[in-house]
Structure 1
Amino acid sequence: MAELTYDKKFTPSSVGAMLGFFGVHIAALGAFFTGVSTADIVVCVTLYWVRIFAIGAGYHRYFSHRSFKTGRVFQFILGFLAQSTAQSGLIWWASKHRDHHRYSDTPKDMHSPRQYGFWFSHMGWIWNNEAQEANYDNVQDLTRYPELVWLDNNRFLPAIILGIAVFVLFGWSGLWFGFFFSTVLVYHSTFTINSLSHVWGKQRYLTGDDSRNNPVLAVLTMGEGWHNNHHYFMSSTRQGFRWYEWDPTYYILKMLSWVGVVWDLKEPPRHVLAGERKLSSELKDRVAAQLAATFCADTLTDSVRARLTRSGVAVDEFKRNLAARIDRGRDAIQHFELPELPELPSVDEVRARAHKMFARSPSMDDIVLRARLMLSEAVSTRLATPA
């Protein structure tokens, strides 16, 4: 197993992040002492939906994926509204999200329930020192705008301004319930895409990770819950690929395009919608490794070694011949065969398991062959170790 990138130990330097995060939750409880008016409920609901839109359209679809275009004024407005959620700076957010896609569900993905468990992927990363470090080299398209850099450097200022405005207009109850409670709701609705969307739902497309489509989360996040669609074709403005997949963030952006506020909205092409997009070699290797890991290489090796012993074949000589075949197999994987390894699962057996594990893909045959090659490499490596 690869070494994990993030430890989950509490450190004193993370106290500030922890106090800030839980402080927002505690502040929301102030509504029990002031009561909640109809106006407070309207403020809470309004701020929730406006800021959920800003997260999805701004932080995610625009700043992270550049899935549409707009002018500098509206991009600043999107950034300001998104940062009013107190979810750090827009450039930091985009950098971390691009890393999430690059390393999805690997040890370098701080949002992976597979690697770090549900609670760390949902919110534990907030007070993890390593997880807070961002690589700004992958967001140079954003750092060239001084106004966006200023926003990122003053990441909590928009939230403070909004909180003060709500207090002035609606008093303490408006602040506790309208601002703080809606902020808590936005927090956890957003975080479910990191956590629940990699655990709960269905996979339509093979993406090499655990991303899933979830209609419930799509409703809560204005369309962000179509997470498997998004991981399959991340540059699309539209994330609900089917007509029945609720994606109001896209609908609003589409209407804004009619009046020229945004433009060049990217749509998934037909071959993507049909699931006919071929995977990169790197991604095929990742999926093949997952498939190969479901077979016990130690058991296969023991069986091979036992057969060689019975037949009087030298293990070292066999291993050299096998290694030579593996080298040739890497160069022409579609022609790779191992007639001297009857213990290895057949192509049909590996393919049957792949169909149970993964969504369909035109790259599946290649993945199956790569998985068998990985299994043979694992056996070859283990043969060098005395029984």
Structure 2
Amino acid sequence: MTNADTHEDIIYPSAIPFVLVHLACFAAIWSGVTWQAVALGIALYWLRIFAIGAGYHRYFSHRSYSTSRVFQFILAVLAQSTAQKSVLWWAAKHRHHHLHSDTPEDVHSPRHKGFFYSHVGWIFARRHDTTDLVKVEDFARYPELMWLHRFELVPAVGLAVLCFLLAGWPGLFIGFFCSTVAVYHATFCINSLAHVRGRKRYVTGDDSRNNWLLAIFTMGEGWHNNHHAYQSSVRQGFRWWEIDPTFYILKSLSFLGVVWNLKSPPAEVLRNERRLGARVINRAAEQLAASFNSERIALAVAAALHSAELSAIRDQLIDAGHRAAEILPSLPQVPSREALLAEARAMFARTPSLDEIVDRAHNLLLTSIGQRLASSVPARA
């Protein structure tokens, strides 16, 4: 990808409606503030935060429970009233995010794209405008959801009109626009802030974190590291003290038969005793190896050895019959496995797969150092 490709990313005209929604909140200065409008705004904030968490996220993205076609549609309409694009677009992007979380392919990673882009900028990126319906083919088969996908703003416009009819101009500007902006940024903070600030109970191969403050404002979505550790769980607050109102409501609805088949994390996950999958181990190993500067280590090795010794090591490294893991560990400048283990214990939460992560990271680091040495040292005559 060229620099030109990366810098044509944001479609600025498409951001204009988003900016106007924010500016509309200031119209309350003209319309005035009524208690009816404030109550409406507060109610709509919590109702739609629930719809985002229970609908867009836990149901449409992760299938963490089952429900009827009617309630499925109600959830989709409520969630789409937030003007966060269609249910199919949202779920497809979120499923892609979990496949590539905090890698260069992630659609909104603070690690690779910066905080502002992960918070809001990515939404206006040209390459993210389309919807990969293959990723959500389980829901794209429903005509009513495809209708919502084609006419994604109908629920939001309908709700705005209803707010005006119920509480006049204050109802529109405070009840609808202010609550919509609040829902925007509470939701977006999970993509941005929950990958930057908080605690990591589980090794997930990404930067997801548990953030208690976000959990309050998002009805449980802030337990983000828990979620990345077991994505299909309907409950994201794994401990009794981790408040998760979205789960409590869904549990109550299950008693009424509105939802069912609520998925829970296995006991070994809750106890942090489950062995990690190969993908998570590889990602964690890459993070651990990257914490050591292989270029600086290679330069230290080169500076410590005589030219003849260096040439001999180079010849060994380029020999197909030798591997860096067999040649480099004996050099004092190269970090030992024990050094990587100590760093891993400082970087990661407790996991039974720590040794596998360290072994993989040690091999990655030795390979990187070996490649730098082999390419930078002149061959022996």
Deviates more, 1:144-153 or 1:78-87: 144-153
Equivalent position of 1:111 in the other structure: 108
Residue number in structure 2 paired with 1:168: 165
Contact (CA 8 Å) 1:5, 1:108: kept in 2 or not? no
Q: Offset at 1:168?
A: 1.3
1:200 is the counterpart of 2:190: no
Partner of 1:262: 259
Would the alpha carbon gap of residues 197 and 386 (structure 1) be closer, same or farther in structure 2, given more than 3 Å must change? closer
1:115, 1:4 → 2: CA distance? 15
Alignment of 1:134-283 (within 5 A): 134-283=131-280
Identity %: 51
Q: 2:57: which partner in 1?
A: 60
1:111, CA displacement in angstroms?
1.6
Deviation at 1:383, TM superposition (A): 2.2
1:19 matches 2:10? no
Counterpart residue number, 2:307: 309
Q: 1:5–1:107: 8 Å Cα contact kept in structure 2?
A: no
Distance in 1, matches of 2:340 and 2:319, equals: 23
Q: Which amino acid in the other structure matches residue 84 of structure 1?
A: S
Consecutive unaligned residues in structure 2, runs of 5 or more: none
Distance across 2 between alignment mates of 1:252 and 1:181: 24
RMSD: 2.1
Q: For 2:235, what is the secondary structure of its paired residue?
A: coil
1:377 maps to what in 2? 367
Secondary structure of 1:384's partner? helix
Which residue type is aligned with residue 307 of structure 2?
Answer: T
Contact 1:278 1:362 (8 Å CA) reproduced: yes
Equivalence map 1:19-38=2 (5 Å) = 19-38=16-35
In structure 2, distance between residues paired with 1:84 and 1:282: 36
C-alpha deviation, 1:61, in angstroms: 0.1
Counterparts in 2 of 1:213 and 1:323: CA distance versus 1, 3 Å? farther
What displacement does 1:309 show? Answer: 3.1
**1:287 touches 1:367 (CA, 8 Å); kept in 2?**
yes
**Letter aligned with residue 369 of structure 2:** V
Report the more deviating stretch, 36-45 or 314-323. Answer: 314-323
Q: CA deviation at 1:337?
A: 8.6
Distance 1:43 1:119 in 2: 30
> Does the 8 Å contact 2:88/2:131 carry over to 1?
no
In structure 2, the CA distance between the partners of 1:312 and 1:337, relative to structure 1 (3 Å rule), is: closer
Aligned to 1:385, what secondary structure does the other structure show?
A: helix
Q: Which amino acid aligns with 2:283?
A: R
Alpha-carbon offset, residue 4 of structure 1: 9.7
Partner residue, 2:36: 39
Q: How far, CA to CA, are the matches of 1:6 and 1:134 in structure 2? A: 20
Aligned mates of 2:369, 2:270 — CA distance in 1: 39
Asked if 1:290 is matched to 2:287, the reply is: yes
Structure 1 position 298, deviation (Å): 1.9
SS in 2 for 1:203: coil
Q: TM-score, normalised by structure 2?
A: 0.93
Matches of 1:5 and 1:37, distance apart in 2: 50
Query: How many angstroms does 1:192 deviate by?
Result: 0.6
1:352 aligns with 2:342: yes
Listed one character per residue, the Cα deviations across residues 331-371 of structure 1 (whole Å, up to 9, x for unaligned) are xxxxx895544432112111111111111211111111111
> What is the Cα deviation at residue 291 of structure 1?
0.8
> What is the alpha-carbon distance in structure 2 between the residues aligned to residue 217 and residue 232 of structure 1?
18
Q: Is the CA contact 1:322–1:380 (under 8 Å) kept in the aligned structure 2?
A: no
1:63-84 deviation per Cα after TM superposition (whole angstroms, max 9, x unaligned)? 0000000010000000000000
Q: How many residues align?
A: 376
Shift of 1:202: 0.6
**Any idea what SS the aligned residue of 1:7 has?**
helix
When the two structures are superposed, what TM-score results if normalisation uses the length of structure 1? 0.92
Q: CA deviation at 1:166?
A: 1.1
What CA distance in whole angstroms lies between the structure 1 residues aligned with 2:85 and 2:310? 66
Residue 195 of structure 1 aligns with an amino acid whose one-letter code is S
2:72 is aligned with 1:75: yes
For structure 1, list consecutive stretches of 5 or more residues without a partner in the other structure.
330-335
Following the alignment from structure 1 to structure 2, what is the Cα–Cα distance between the partners of residues 99 and 272? 23
